[in-house]
């Protein structure tokens, strides 16, 4: 895996709370990387990855994410749409103010990325469940106590 | 214009009623032509999977999301209600909240599968409570047909749990399959709620979380063989698919069961005797031609379109010894009205009913494991009957296994709120979602509605679809009887939530948009249950009803109007099982009549 993809996975793990293997296990990492590149341009994503690479480690790391990524006018909305992409398998249109300032893309619409992306949504894992209509758990599984979720 | 060959019976509509009639009539050796207005894309297994893919990729995953409309056979969509810009022309004053599907298989393609019998008292609400109408049939008349219907559609339940409020079963009977296992959420709720008493209409009622009979495959009893996915190719014999013989918990009964463990009408149609059956899809019945002197139907005119995207079509006449409208409560009435057959009773198209339904949602104190299993497996049924019905509507609770999906769009909406509003990310976000999504509880509280002649279907030449057929105009008002039922039901759900220590999170402003009504200062947001009924109701008296107890038109002796449109009242039962029972009864009479070669006088 190339360095940029590794950075994208690292950033995605930091933002979603899921580990590298869980993200890889969705099979969607490449698709999402390409999707973000296509919507906001590779240059914008490069800037987001660069901030991620230079985040401090240790106690100040979360504050740095909040300030340097989520709090950033240009990178914050992109990061939030990226979180939703991983959790829901769908792209969430960037805010009007962002679009007015940084440009619009015909791909920047509220949409399910693909049938596969829907099924790979991490929200179902967080819920201790499965995507509705896919990855069936088997007869009677619903009668048992739920698992403990993602971790 | 061409005339097809002669059939014994022409049936309009390939939904559950048309499928049951087709199976029974062809197996008795009668030649049947079925005209289906919509496409037959769900008939083959591959075609069905195409609808599943459509659902996966749909941005909004509502009840219609797997079943896109055919332009030439348009259908209502709940997404059109808010702006009144869909197939229905809603005349108000209230919005009718339900939809149906015009496609081979009909609305069973996306029904939930709840298969409750009506209560014995539901057939006699006028006599017992002074409201609504009595049926010309009683529970005892229909009971044998309920059993046949439960076998036909494959109902899973345990008799020991279903004999309540007067519902009886013959000695030794049990459902074809064991009950669907109650969800973990049902079990948690039952532990907290069972036995709690509520007061309604001056009487005290003990509540119980009860598994409901469901048309979903479970463990069979006796010689019953669960029927899995149907696969009827365009040419050749049906293919046996070893899939769907057990519910696997896909949590998507509505809009689409991926494995067809839930019943759909395609299964019954696949069991018809193909030597005597012809089904023409993309064939819209547009006019019923009647002999003016005798009232007998001479033919049904239909428009056949090859290309689903183009209104180009050819016009044909179908002729037979008997004619059956099994197109849906609204479509049956629309076709009669479009043919100038409004009738002298003044009841055709009138008395449209539904179960206006309230959502209630909350957070359980402990994880209940939602977003798993059939969309629901249990309800609270104890308030479906009782003396309070003299004063207000009865109601039933459906206990969801799908968290807040239906009212709020969760889990997507919950993730969005956490990220966009609470600005959560990383492990905090994941922990927040894990601890909240797992505690989501949802009730649907379905409220009875009585027949009211002011509620109904009409047509107006200025509203037409692409083939020139009229679009239904819907007049609809939720009256005080139902509103008072909503108020009582709201009180009960709040008591149940308190008892189970569920934090009430019901907030229509944070949920999806739903129509609303106001009663005694309270606003109630409601949705439809897809339970259309009453548009050609049956009765003892030709002056007060459209069809007789056999669902035969009083005025056109060789014409039957079948389905939930024949219901004089609906109680609190989801209508499909009862309409299946009525249809089996009608099919048996039709078979006897055709074999005898005579047309009985209506009502005889």
* DSSP structure class, residue A41: -
3-state secondary structure of B468: coil
Check residue B1 and give its pLDDT: 45
3-state secondary structure of A42: helix
Check residue B597 and give its pLDDT: 64
8 Å CB contact of B426 and A119 = no
Distance from CA of B429 to the nearest CA of A (A): 7
Contact A69, A51 (CB under 8 A): yes
Polymer length in residues for chain A: 151
Q: What is the pTM of this model?
A: 0.96
- Domain of B553, in residue numbers: 2-58+85-596
Q: Quick check: is B496 in a domain?
A: yes
8 Å CB contact of B251 and A90 = no
Return the number of other C-beta atoms located less than 10 Å from residue B581's C-beta.
26
Count A/B contacts: CB-CB distance under 8 Å.
Answer: 169
B604: confidence class by pLDDT, cuts 50, 70, 90:
very low
Q: Does residue A150 register a pLDDT over 80? A: no
Contact B534, B567 (CB under 8 A): yes
Q: Does residue B600 register a pLDDT over 60? A: no
Please give the residue of chain B at the shortest CA–CA distance from A92: B416
Check residue B80 and give its pLDDT: 93
Quote the CA–CA distance of B162 and B164 in Å, as a whole number: 6
Q: Please give the mean pLDDT across all residues of chain B.
A: 96
Q: Does residue B599 register a pLDDT over 80? A: no
Q: Does residue A149 register a pLDDT over 80? A: no
Find the CATH number of the domain harbouring B484: 3.50.50.60
In angstroms and rounded to an integer, the radius of gyration of the C-alpha atoms of chain A is: 16
Tell me what percent of the residues of chain B surpass a pLDDT of 70: 98
CA distances from B143 to B146, B148, B176, B329, B577 (A): 5, 9, 15, 23, 11
8 Å CB contact of A84 and B53 = no
Q: Which chain A residues have a beta carbon less than 8 Å from that of B256?
A: 133
Write the pLDDT tens digit of every residue in B379-394.
999 999 999 999 999 9
B62 touches chain A (CB under 8 A): no
A28 touches chain B (CB under 8 A): no
- State mean pLDDT over A133-150: 88
B236: confidence class by pLDDT, cuts 50, 70, 90:
confident
Contact B328, B540 (CB under 8 A): no
Write the pLDDT tens digit of every residue in A89-103.
999 999 999 999 999
- β-strands B209-211, B376-380: how paired? antiparallel
- Mutate which of B51, B55, B56, B436 to disrupt the A interface (most A C-beta within 10 Å)? B56
Q: Does residue B602 register a pLDDT over 70? A: no
Quote the CA–CA distance of B579 and B293 in Å, as a whole number: 32
Quote the CA–CA distance of B483 and B467 in Å, as a whole number: 39
8 Å CB contact of A143 and B438 = no
- State mean pLDDT over A35-55: 98
Lowest-confidence region among A106-120, B3-17, B257-271: B3-17
Lowest-confidence region among A105-109, B344-348, B507-511: B507-511
Q: Which chain A residues have a beta carbon less than 8 Å from that of B373?
A: 137, 141-143
Domain boundaries, chain A: 3-123
Where are the extended beta strands (E) located within B465-552? 473-476, 503-504, 516-519, 522-527
8 Å CB contact of B430 and A129 = no
Contact B430, A17 (CB under 8 A): yes
With tokens 């107890």, the residue in question is B549
Q: Which chain B residues have a beta carbon less than 8 Å from that of A120?
A: none
Q: Does residue B341 register a pLDDT over 60? A: yes
8 Å CB contact of B259 and A136 = yes
Q: Does residue A54 register a pLDDT over 50? A: yes
Where are the extended beta strands (E) located within B537-596? 559-561
Q: Which chain B residues have a beta carbon less than 8 Å from that of A137?
A: 248-249, 372-373
What are all long-range contacts of B122-128, with beta carbons under 8 Å and residues at least 24 apart? B122/B385, B122/B569, B122/B570, B122/B571, B122/B572, B122/B573, B123/B569, B125/B389, B125/B450, B125/B569, B125/B571, B128/B389
Q: Which chain A residues have a beta carbon less than 8 Å from that of B414?
A: 123
Contact B446, B98 (CB under 8 A): no
Angle (CA) B277-B113-B169 rounded to 5° is 95
B264: confidence class by pLDDT, cuts 50, 70, 90:
very high
Q: Rounded to an integer, what is the distance from CA B356 to the centroid of its chain?
A: 13
B411 touches chain A (CB under 8 A): yes
Quote the CA–CA distance of B396 and B357 in Å, as a whole number: 9
Contact A3, A50 (CB under 8 A): no
- State mean pLDDT over B277-296: 97
Q: Please give the mean pLDDT across all residues of chain A.
A: 95
Write the pLDDT tens digit of every residue in B298-323.
999 999 999 999 999 999 999 999 99
Residue closest to B55 by CA, chosen among B73, B68, B45, B44: B68
A17 touches chain B (CB under 8 A): yes
Check residue A148 and give its pLDDT: 61
Write the pLDDT tens digit of every residue in B140-177.
999 999 999 999 999 999 999 999 999 999 999 999 99
**Token digits for B59?**
């941005």
- β-strands B357-363, B503-504: how paired? antiparallel
Q: Does residue B115 register a pLDDT over 60? A: yes
Quote the CA–CA distance of B514 and B516 in Å, as a whole number: 6
Tell me what percent of the residues of chain B surpass a pLDDT of 90: 93
Q: Does residue B101 register a pLDDT over 50? A: yes
Helix/strand/coil (H/E/C) assignment for every residue in A45-57: HHHHHHHHHCCCC
Q: What is the largest CA-CA distance in chain B?
A: 78
B598: confidence class by pLDDT, cuts 50, 70, 90:
low
Number of separate domains in chain B: 1
Point out the residue among B55, B402, B438 whose CB comes nearest to the CB of A149.
Answer: B438
A46: confidence class by pLDDT, cuts 50, 70, 90:
very high
Give kind and range of the element (H or E) at residue A25.
Answer: helix A20-25
Distance from CA of B525 to the nearest CA of A (A): 25
Please give the residue of chain A at the shortest CA–CA distance from B419: A80
Check residue A138 and give its pLDDT: 96
Check residue B237 and give its pLDDT: 84
Q: Which chain B residues have a beta carbon less than 8 Å from that of A88?
A: 411-412, 415-416
């Amino acid at each position: 895996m190339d360095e940029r993809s590794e950075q994208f996975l690292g950033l995605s793990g930091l933002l979603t709370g899921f580990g590298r293997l869980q993200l890889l296990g969705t099979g969607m990492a490449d698709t999402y990387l390409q999707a973000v590149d296509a919507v906001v341009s590779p240059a914008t994503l490069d800037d987001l990855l660069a901030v991620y690479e230079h985040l401090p480690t240790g106690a100040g790391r979360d504050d740095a994410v909040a300030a340097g990524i989520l709090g950033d006018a240009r990178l914050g909305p992109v990061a939030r749409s990226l979180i939703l992409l991983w959790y829901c398998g769908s792209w969430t249109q960037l805010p009007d103010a962002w679009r007015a300032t940084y440009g619009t893309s015909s791909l920047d619409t509220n949409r399910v990325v693909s049938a596969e992306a829907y099924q790979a949504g991490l929200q179902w894992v967080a819920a201790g469940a499965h995507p509705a209509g896919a990855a069936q758990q088997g007869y009677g599984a619903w009668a048992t106590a739920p698992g403990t979720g993602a971790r | 214009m061409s005339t097809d060959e002669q059939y014994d019976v022409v049936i309009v509509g390939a939904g559950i009623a048309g499928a049951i009639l087709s199976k029974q009539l062809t197996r008795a050796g009668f030649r049947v032509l079925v005209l289906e207005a919509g496409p037959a894309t769900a008939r083959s297994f591959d075609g069905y999977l195409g609808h599943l893919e459509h659902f996966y990729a749909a941005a909004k995953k509502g009840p219609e999301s797997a079943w896109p409309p055919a332009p030439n056979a348009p259908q209502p969509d709940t997404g059109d209600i808010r702006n009144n810009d869909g197939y229905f022309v809603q005349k108000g004053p209230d919005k009718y909240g339900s939809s149906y599907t015009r496609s081979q298989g009909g609305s069973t393609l996306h029904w939930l599968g709840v298969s409750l019998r009506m209560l014995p008292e539901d057939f006699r609400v006028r006599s017992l409570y002074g409201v609504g109408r009595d049926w010309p049939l009683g529970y005892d008349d229909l009971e044998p047909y309920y059993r046949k219907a439960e076998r036909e559609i494959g109902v899973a339940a345990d008799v020991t749990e279903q004999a309540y409020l007067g519902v009886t079963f013959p000695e030794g009977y049990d459902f074809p399959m064991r009950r669907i296992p109650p969800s973990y959420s049902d079990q948690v709720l039952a532990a907290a709620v069972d036995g709690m008493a509520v007061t309604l209409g001056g009487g005290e009622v003990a509540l119980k979380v009860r598994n409901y009979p469901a048309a979903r495959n479970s463990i069979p009893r006796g010689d019953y063989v669960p029927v899995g996915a149907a696969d009827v190719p365009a040419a050749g014999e049906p293919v046996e698919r070893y899939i769907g013989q057990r519910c696997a918990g896909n949590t998507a009964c509505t809009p689409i069961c991926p494995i067809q463990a839930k019943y759909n009408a395609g299964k019954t149609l696949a069991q018809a005797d193909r030597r005597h059956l012809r089904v023409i899809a993309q064939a819209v019945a547009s006019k019923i031609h009647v002999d003016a002197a005798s009232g007998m139907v001479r033919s049904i005119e239909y428009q056949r379109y090859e290309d689903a995207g183009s209104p180009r079509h050819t016009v044909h006449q179908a002729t037979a010894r008997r004619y059956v409208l099994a197109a849906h409560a609204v479509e049956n009435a629309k076709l009669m009205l479009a043919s100038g057959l409004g009738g002298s009773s003044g009841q055709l198209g009138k008395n449209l009913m539904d179960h206006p339904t309230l959502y209630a949602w909350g957070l359980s104190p402990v994880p209940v494991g939602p977003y798993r299993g059939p969309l629901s497996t249990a309800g609270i049924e104890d308030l479906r009957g009782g003396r309070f019905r003299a004063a207000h509507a009865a109601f039933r609770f459906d206990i969801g296994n799908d968290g807040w999906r239906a009212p709020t769009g969760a889990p997507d909406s919950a993730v969005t709120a956490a990220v966009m509003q609470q600005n959560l990310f990383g492990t905090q976000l994941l922990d927040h979602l894990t601890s909240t999504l797992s505690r989501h509880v949802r009730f649907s509280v379905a409220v009875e509605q009585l027949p009211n002649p002011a509620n109904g279907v009409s047509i107006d030449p200025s509203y037409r679809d692409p083939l020139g057929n009229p679009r239904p105009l819907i007049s609809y008002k939720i009256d005080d009887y139902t509103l008072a039922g909503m108020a009582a039901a709201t009180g009960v759900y709040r008591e149940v939530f308190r008892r189970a220590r569920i934090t009430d999170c019901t907030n229509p402003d944070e949920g999806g948009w739903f129509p609303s009504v106001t009663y005694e200062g309270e606003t109630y947001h409601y949705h439809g249950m897809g339970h259309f009924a009453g548009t050609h109701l049956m009765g003892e008296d030709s002056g007060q009803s459209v069809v007789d107890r056999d669902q035969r038109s009083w005025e056109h002796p060789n014409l039957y109007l079948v389905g939930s449109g024949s219901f004089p009242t609906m109680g609190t039962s989801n209508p499909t099982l009862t309409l299946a029972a009525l249809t089996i009864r009608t099919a048996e009479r039709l078979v006897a009549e055709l074999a005898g070669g005579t047309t009985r006088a209506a009502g005889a």
